Amino acid sequence: AQSVTQLDSQVPVFEEAPVELRCNYSSSVSVYLFWYVQYPNQGLQLLLKYLSGSTLVESINGFEAEFNKSQTSFHLRKPSVHISDTAEYFCAVREMDSSYKLIFGSGTRLLVRP
């Protein structure tokens, strides 16, 4: 069955340090991949997505993620985090034979400390 695994429930990191949030998925068909961010008391905002083409995708605020088909992973990275990056990050997949639903992981809380 399709599933998304985010092994780290919380990642504490100091400001200006690099960070990687891990995401692995399981699916019998090809997928599209997404990262969403949720700030406290807010809804989800799309951070970046992989649909096709280059396996490295970037967001406007310095995050990037790389699709690795052989390892079924889509890890999110940022070379230098800011306090304002503190939030919950959700990885999600949409299977190519299913147009309607996103399947989310359980989320990783990124806690940036000064």
Partner 1 sequence: ETGVTQSPTHLIKTRGQQVTLRCSSQSGHNTVSWYQQALGQGPQFIFQYYREEENGRGNFPPRFSGLQFPNYSSELNVNALELDDSALYLCASSTSGGITDTQYFGPGTRLTVL
Q: Which of 28, 29, 100, 114 binds partner 1 (CB under 8 A)?
A: 100
User: Which lies closer to partner 1 via its Cβ, residue 36 or residue 67?
Assistant: 36
By the 10 Å C-beta count (0-12 exposed, 13-18 middle, 19+ buried), 8 is classed as middle
Structure tokens at 12: 């504490």
103 binds partner 1 (CB under 8 A): yes
User: Which lies closer to partner 1 via its Cβ, residue 17 or residue 96?
Assistant: 96
- Residues 54 to 83 in contact with partner 1, rule: CB under 8 A: none
Q: Across-strand partners of 65?
A: 57, 76
